Structure 1
């Protein structure tokens, strides 16, 4: 009887786990395709949201930018037939206002809009005109006009009335040219220099203005003070100047600005279209909390990390427990991880992002945990897989939430994960994986 000679291990037997690792890596690359498709879905939903905003604002009113008041004084230039305008800014400007916000919806998409009550007071002096080298006799004082730039005239909710040195006049729509702004309102003012050659005027006016999303003010006064209050709990101050003081709570906010003429890049008077007086605007955006699509977009960037680490957990289980996992099972788990993102997007459109993340990750982790428990008849393995996924999804959420510290926290987290992997993998006898008795405990 011939002695039994066991068949030498083939190449595939000897390197079965290495081949399996390459198959898993290939599956990870395949699963990046649906994540790209989901990323495109996020972009489409963002576009739908922008379309909803455009539709609501087309009926309500768009973002508003209040610029002025500015005095436009025509003067005659020798050798020309038409008038040229000199523009004069106020010595003092005070803007006090209140925003009454509300949220409108187009389908499932919310849009922040507001009504506002604004009171503008201040004082003009013609003294800065003396620096323009224009003879006083060239000015046509009787045709002076007060201008106020307003981005969307549909938002004006009252007949704006000017009180100028105790005399009242009504504003009319339109501006005489585009030197300062493209749309606005105007009214004539009585401006006659005294014996000193200087004319002054005090003004008061009230504007009821509707808008959406954002409101901005141009600090055209030599000294400008702005005070705005509202019941909106999530303002964003993202223009040229931050507020000097601010108070934000769940009941609303109040903010004040103090801007001097030295803080801006245009003088108190000039002629023609030399300067952009909206370059130093201050303003408020009615921030919609949650940042649903932005945070979802950030979350999907970590898809490769979630899929890769989850697959590693399963692969490590194969090595340590000698329980073979079919590539199709890897694919099913990977698809469950991809569906997490569609759940996250759809639920976050109805709820806030944090709650949507908890629900989506809970459903995904629960599905994978039950699948492992049913497939391998082991509550211990299923609990280990579920616990690992809870930690992983929690780690990803911390990175998403910490915008400023995301890189630092992500780097430290990955370093810790790598350290854990290296620690547990050190007990595996890689050179004996083909031997059934090789795994070290």
Structure 2
């Protein structure tokens, strides 16, 4: 037993095995982080399902039914016949203007916060005379008296008030549903009667009080689309196909303006059937809470192997240079303490800000390990050494987490410096004649 106690190869093998064994609870904590994140997303989905989902306003546009005739050959009786099909023309507005106010609210589900909003949108614009010459459709096959004014809305439960359309000095009421799924699968519509021979500009406007959760997006269906939004929310995220041309963000809220031309997107002002899709051109606002504790916890645990490996390496050098024997059980207890840090970090960050949770968890872990090392080594100097090494490691990881864009650069430099320090302190050790012997 004494030979095993002082055998350097047995010691290195044991330390390596313990380090690898501690990766098992590390992976379990990674799964726990993912599970807690899924729980948060479930809470968001539950509240959104009752309040209103993420909203995207697709349109407005006009859908006009028409008849298309195709030849169909019947193999059963060898007869070719003409079949009438009903399809839709889709006409986009020449000018589209949207202005609105978004009023966010915070709702709670357990320990989680979810952002929902009420919005009041004023939507107006114009349709010029329809140019149907390029579509190769006979005018007598187009049912202009069956035209419908369509506004695509993801979740109709978010509509708070009756929506009325002012169309060419006429007031019309909207009905639920869309005439076809060519452009959008959910929305509202109003029946129109269009005179194809009238050389005129059709003006429209309506107000929409819409509830939703987290996101509010729009599609630039106008030949010129101008959108102006404001809110008291101080942390907006502008996403989608287009960023605002002008924006002002402060602690009091934000104002943002988009101006998009038809040349900026990949579909025309008029087409038939489902030849084009507008969903990829959507853009707007994300009202997500600035909570990224799960992502940061996941990134920090990626460095667990560095913590364990470097801490064990310091203990090993203490044994080699000071002839102090440290039992494998003591390695295990210190390693478990390092792993418990991530559990503390995850649990505390769900209730406090991540940076504060990191500091509390690091101080608690450092205090625990420092007290244990002081008890087993009986040396203030070595205890300060271990504590200093861990403090540097925690500070290093904390900096990497904050500087996400430079994490690879800072991490590479840090690992290089650590390797240099290890090589420096081990330069004079005669590894071939090394033997561990505990002092009396």
Equivalent residue, structure 1, for 2:54: 63
Normalising by structure 1, what TM-score? 0.91
Q: Deviations over 1:165-201 (max 9, x none)?
A: 222212111112211111100112342245xx53421
1:31 maps onto 2:34 in alignment: no
Q: How many Å apart are 1:80 and its aligned residue? A: 5.5
Q: Which moved more, 1:51-60 or 1:227-236?
A: 227-236
Quote the Cα distance in structure 2 between the aligned partners of 1:297 and 1:126: 57
Among 60, 64, 80, the residue aligned to 1:73: 64
The reply on whether 1:339 has 2:340 as its aligned counterpart is yes
Task: Map 1:398-417; keep pairs closer than 5 Å.
Answer: 398-417=399-418
Which residue number in structure 2 is paired with residue 110 of structure 1?
A: 113
CA distance in 2 between counterparts of 1:145 and 1:188 reads 5
Residue 261 of structure 1 deviates from its aligned partner by 1.0
In 2, are the aligned partners of 1:71 and 1:147 still within 8 Å (CA)?
A: yes
Cα distance in structure 2, aligned partners of 1:11 and 1:375: 22
Shift of 1:272: 0.9
Per-residue CA shift, 1:51-80, capped at 9, x if unaligned?
Answer: 111211111111111011101122344666
Cα offset, 1:155, TM superposition? 0.3
The answer to whether the 8 Å contact 1:88/1:128 transfers is no
Task: Supply the distance in 1 between the matched residues of 2:83 and 2:229 (Cα, whole angstroms).
Answer: 45
2:189: which partner in 1? 186
Provide TM-score, normalisation by structure 2: 0.91
Match of 1:244 in 2: 245
Q: Is the partner of 1:416 in helix, strand or coil?
A: helix
CA distance in 2: counterparts of 1:377 and 1:435, whole angstroms:
19
Instruction: For structure 1, list consecutive stretches of 5 or more residues without a partner in the other structure.
Output: 1-9
Q: Distance in 1 between matches of 2:199 and 2:67?
A: 19
1:84 offset after TM fit, Å? Answer: 2.9
In structure 1, distance between residues paired with 2:193 and 2:179: 18
CA distance in 1, matches of 2:367, 2:113: 31
Which piece of structure 1 moves more, 258-267 or 324-333?
Answer: 258-267
Identify the residue that residue 154 of structure 1 maps to in structure 2. 157
Residues 242 and 435 of structure 1, relative CA distance in 2, 3 Å threshold: closer
Distance 1:425 1:244 in 2: 59
Q: Secondary structure at the match of 2:97?
A: strand
**1:238 aligned counterpart, secondary structure:** strand
**Map of 2:78 onto structure 1:** none
Greater CA drift, 54-63 or 135-144: 135-144
- Asked if 2 retains the 8 angstrom alpha-carbon contact of 1:128 and 1:268, the reply is no
280-289 vs 333-342, which moves further: 280-289
Query: Per the alignment, in what secondary structure is the counterpart of residue 211 of structure 2?
Result: strand
The answer to whether the 8 A contact 1:193-1:199 is kept is no
Shift of 1:263: 1.5
Matched residue SS, 2:281:
coil
Aligned mates of 1:87, 1:183 — CA distance in 2:
16
Residue correspondences, number: 426
Give how far 1:267 is off: 0.7
Report the secondary structure of 1:237's partner residue. strand
Q: Distance in 2 between matches of 1:11 and 1:377?
A: 25
Q: For the residues of structure 1 that align with 2:33 and 2:418, how far apart are their CA atoms?
A: 29
Distance 1:324 1:280 in 2: 66
Q: Map 1:222-301; keep pairs closer than 5 Å.
A: 222-301=223-302
Q: 1:364 to 1:128 in 2, by over 3 A?
A: farther
1:248 Cα offset (Å)? 2.3
* RMSD of aligned Cα (Å): 2.1
Tell me by how many angstroms 1:273 deviates.
1.4
Whole-Å Cα distance in 1 between the matches of residues 124 and 285 of structure 2? 20
Alpha-carbon separation, structure 2, partners of 1:69 and 1:134 = 23
TM alignment of 1:360-439, pairs within 5 A: 360-434=361-435
Moved more, 148-157 or 281-290: 281-290
Give me the whole-angstrom Cα distance separating, in 2, the residues matched to 1:246 and 1:22.
60
Describe the superposition over 1:297-318 as per-residue Cα deviations: whole angstroms up to 9, x where unpaired: 1111111111111111111222
**Residues of 2 paired with 1:129 and 1:349: CA distance?**
58
Compute the displacement of 1:105 (Å).
Answer: 1.4
What is the rounded CA distance, in whole Å, between the counterparts of 2:159 and 2:110 in structure 1?
27
- Matched residue of 2:120: which SS? strand
User: Is the deviation greater in 206-215 or in 420-429?
Assistant: 420-429
- Comparing 217-226 with 16-25, which one deviates more in the overlay? 16-25
Deviation at residue 12 of structure 1 after TM alignment:
5.3
